[in-house]
Structure formats: structure tokens, C-alpha cells
Structure 1
Amino acid sequence: MHEAPIIKLGGLNIDLSIVFMLIVSCVIVFIIARLATRNLSVENPGKMQNFLEWLVEFVRGLSNSTMDWKKGKPFISLAMTLIMFIFVSNMLGLPFGVVTDVHDAEKAQIFGQPLVSVTEKMEAIHKQHPNEEPEVEVAWWKSPTADASASMALAIMVFLLSHGLGMFKNTRAYFKHYVHPYPYFLPINLIETFSKPLTHGMRLFGNIFAGEVLITVILRLTSLGPVGGVFSVIGLIVWQAFSIFIGTIQAFVFTMLTLLYISQTYAAEDDH
């Protein structure tokens, strides 16, 4: 497996590949949104405007399936941003990857900071094989959602938003649902509540991470000679097509669950 380019700042381990790819995802989503809203027209809408209108109607349908439109309307922008951001993030690791080889621990630096993940790996290799020159591959380009920290951060954001809305905007119904249908269901309801962000984030991470690992395995078939190269190309084409489908479904599922969790806390009625 490739190592991540991690540096230490303020006692925290910062994965530069995730930071970089999150920025790339945000820029792409911003460009798509800007192009779709640049020249709005009622009589002659462009392709990007048609796409935006379709996306709005699609997200509106998701919202209407989970809560009343009056309560769900304020979250349309959130849902559109999430589904576009997660879809773009899921797709980034499919076209290509950027991997560099490091042979010298002293050169494993960026912005004047050492790549601690690389130096630690090289030290471990040197201890096991002192007579060999250590070599570490560093991955700079990948899907940010293929990292557990990025996917879990999105899930925790949704968790805090939905429960914050429930506590402050729908207080009575929110706290009442913890003892529904009977008070002794409180522990079960608490377990259910705190397990949601884990399943929400890990579902997204697991599917995208597994897809990128399999792409790496398929690419390694080229080392088996011409036959392996043929199977590698065929397998890569098939798997990337399937990964696009999986990435799209995961963006849909994450956004759908976000609206569902909000409806369960913010839009829940007292007779829930």
C-alpha cells in the first residue's frame, strides 16, 4: 500500500493528500455551480442550467420523501451541496493517481516539514533490511472520501446539525423520542442514535476505499507480462465503470440519509 504524505503541525497529524483533494473537490463543485447559474434563461436554458434544474427537482423529491416540504425546503441547498461534493470526491481517484517514490529520508519534506509517515516507514524498512536501500511510495492524488477521517467528518457534521436542530428547534419531540414507546427503551434509542454517524460515514468510506484498493490490485497485474497487461486493461475498464455507479449510489445514499436524520429530529412530531 502507498503511504500518505503526513506532516505534524501543532501536535496533529495532517494528511496533505486529503487536504489537497478536499480543496480540489470544493473548487470543482464551485465551478460546476457557477457555470450552471451564470446565464440563467427561462426561454432558452443551457445544458448546465437544465442539469441544475434536474438536480434541484431530484433533491426536492428526496426531501419530500422524508419530511414535509415546508420543513424540508431550507435543506435543499445543503442536500445539493452534499450530493455534488460527495459525487465529485468519489470520482477523483478513478481517472488516475499521483504517486512519487522516496529513497532518501532527508528529502522526504514539503514546505520545510518532514513527511513523518514516510520517515517512519523508511526507518522500519531499514531495521528489517539494513543492507537494502529503502523505497517508499507516496500517494498524493486519491478520492478524499476513501479516507476514513474525511468520510467520518462529513457524518459527524450531519450528526451535529440534525441533533442541534432537534434540541433547539423541536425540543419536546426530540427528547420525547428517546423514551418512545416506553421509558426503558432509552438505552436502545441512545445506542441507535450514536451508532448512526459511524454507519453513515463508514459506509461511504468502505465502498470508495475498497474500490481504489481493487484498482491498485488490477494495475499490478501488468507485472505478470503481456497476458497480465491485457487482463489489467480489461479489468480496469470494467471496474472503473462499476466504480462510477458505486460512487453515484453512495452520494445518493449519504444525502438521502442526511435528510432522513434531519427529519427524524427536526421534523418529528410530538406523537412520534
Structure 2
Amino acid sequence: MHEAPIVQIGNLKFDLALILTVIVSGIIVFALAKLATRNLSVENPGKLQNFMEWVVEFVQGLISSTMDYKKGAPFLSLGLTLIMFIFVSNMLGLPLVIPFKYTDPAAANFFGLPLTTVLDGLNSGKEYVEVGWWKSPTADAASAMGLALIVFVLVHFLGIVKNPKHYFGHYFKPFFFFFPINLIEQFSKLLTHGMRLFGNIFAGEVLISVLLKMSTLWFGAGAIASILGLIVWQGFSIFVGVIQAFVFTILAMVYISQSLETDEDH
């Protein structure tokens, strides 16, 4: 795997590849939504409008499967944003890798800010350091956990504001001494929600890197095996990317429904 292009400002470290691809994912999602709704037509809808309508209906179905749609309707925009942003983010790292090889510490900078990972590698005696400037944002634990944290904060905010009696009461069910277990359960949801997404997408990109390195082995046979492996794995990775976007979104809706649940809903 390539090193990340990290710069440090004060005590904070910033992954430039992650920042770049998050911005690109956001732009793509915004552009798709804008183009799909630019020329709305009932009689002659375009292909993009039909696709967006299908996505909306799909997310409405996800919400309806987890809670009463009257309660879940306000979260339609959230569901659409999550599933589209995560899907696009999952796909970004598949078609190409943009590695740069650095051998000179003086060249390892970004607008005057030194790339700390490169300098650390070169100072440790490495002849060169390869930096990857392109990846799936969801293949980074910080990004995946950030998305999970947004859902986590929203879920608990809704529980405290909209449904305080049930929210605080469920920590002590079925018995009051279950409080520590119920508390741990909440944080385990946060961890598994983000790490499931990160683990699947990161593993896919690791395998792509391995397949690319195979092209240098066994003369021509390595290149052939690498190409065939990439074709098969790219197709499977698209499937995994779709599934992970679906799983993350439906779990978000499940957690929201649990925060809005009342004793009368049982």
C-alpha cells in the first residue's frame, strides 16, 4: 500500500488524499442530484430522473421497513445523502490509483507544507516513498467512523429530545443492573457501524494494490494474471460497494427508529 500524503499544521495532521476525495464525492453527488432535478417532467422523464426516482423509492422502502413512514419521512433526505455519498465514495478508489514516488525530501511538500509521511520514510533510510493521492474516502477509518459518528450523535439527540422517557428508560431494561451492558451496546453500535464499512472497502483496495504488483512478477504471466484478477475483482468490488452503502444506510434508519420507538410501539 502507498503512504498517505499527510501534512501537519500545529498539532493537527491532515490527509490530503482523504480531503480531496471527500470533496470530489460531495461534488459528484451534488451534480447528480442537480442534473436529475433540473428538467423534471411527468410525461417524458429523462434516464437520470428515472434513476433518481428509483433511488428515492428505494430509500423510502428502507425507511418503511424500519419504522412507520410518517415518523421516518423527515429522514428521507438523510437516507438519500448517505446512500449516494457512500456509494460514490466506495467507487472512487476502484478505477485508478495515483501514486507518486518521492526520492528527494525537498520535493516532498504541498504548497510549502512538508509531507510528513514522506520525510519520515526517507529519513529512516528508504530509497523512495510512494504516496497515493487517490483512494475511496470510505477506505479511511477516519472518514467511515466520521459518518458513523454523525448518525450516532443524531440518534441520541433524537432520543433525548423526541423520546426522553423511553430513551433513558431503555438503559435499565430488563433490569436496572443491565445499565453497563446497555451502555456498552451503544458504543459498540458506533464502532461496528463505521468499521464494517471501512474494513470492506479498505480490504478491496489492498487487494487491488496486490494485483497491480503482480504485474511485475513472472514476466508476462504476471501481467496477464494481474489484468484478469483486476477485471474480476473490480466487478466484485462494485457489488461490495453497493451492498455496503445499503447496509450502512439501513442500519442508520434502524438506529433512528429505535430512538423514536415508544412502549406503545411494541
**Which TM class, normalised by the smaller chain length?**
over 0.9
Q: Which secondary structure state, in structure 2, belongs to the residue aligned with residue 94 of structure 1?
A: coil
Deviation at residue 182 of structure 1 after TM alignment: 1.6
* Match of residue 243 from structure 1: 237
Deviation readout 1:105-156 (Å, 9 max, x if unpaired) = 1110001100011101111125xxxxxxx20000001101000000000001
* Match of residue 259 from structure 1: 253
Q: Which secondary structure state, in structure 1, belongs to the residue aligned with residue 66 of structure 2?
A: coil
Q: Which letter maps to 1:253?
A: V
Structure 2 residues without counterparts, runs of 5 or longer: none
Q: CA RMSD in A?
A: 0.9
Deviation at residue 188 of structure 1 after TM alignment: 1.1
* Match of residue 40 from structure 1: 40
Counterparts of 1:9 and 1:31 in 2: how far apart (Å)?
Answer: 32
> Please, which of 150, 154, 158 is the counterpart of residue 151 of structure 2?
158
Asked whether the equivalents of residues 221 and 232 of structure 1 are also in contact (C-alpha less than 8 Å), the reply is: yes
After TM superposition, where is structure 1 displaced by more than 6 Å over at least 4 residues in a row?
A: none
* Match of residue 205 from structure 1: 198
Counterparts of 1:99 and 1:106 in 2: how far apart (Å)?
Answer: 18
Q: Which secondary structure state, in structure 1, belongs to the residue aligned with residue 263 of structure 2?
A: coil
* Match of residue 228 from structure 2: 234
* Match of residue 138 from structure 1: 131
Counterparts of 1:55 and 1:94 in 2: how far apart (Å)?
Answer: 22
Deviation at residue 245 of structure 1 after TM alignment: 0.1
Aligned-residue sequence identity (percent) comes to 61
Q: Which letter maps to 1:242?
A: F
Q: Which secondary structure state, in structure 2, belongs to the residue aligned with residue 65 of structure 1?
A: helix
Deviation at residue 176 of structure 1 after TM alignment: 1.0
* Match of residue 5 from structure 1: 5
Q: How does 1:98-117 map to 2 (within 5 A)?
A: 98-117=98-117
* Match of residue 26 from structure 1: 26
Structure 1 residues without counterparts, runs of 5 or longer: 127-133
Deviation at residue 221 of structure 1 after TM alignment: 1.0
Q: Which secondary structure state, in structure 2, belongs to the residue aligned with residue 125 of structure 1?
A: coil
Deviation at residue 85 of structure 1 after TM alignment: 0.2
Asked whether the equivalents of residues 172 and 270 of structure 1 are also in contact (C-alpha less than 8 Å), the reply is: no
TM-score of the aligned structures, taking structure 1 as reference length: 0.95
Deviation at residue 270 of structure 1 after TM alignment: 2.9
Deviation readout 1:219-238 (Å, 9 max, x if unpaired) = 11111110111111110000
Deviation readout 1:50-74 (Å, 9 max, x if unpaired) = 1111111100010001111111000
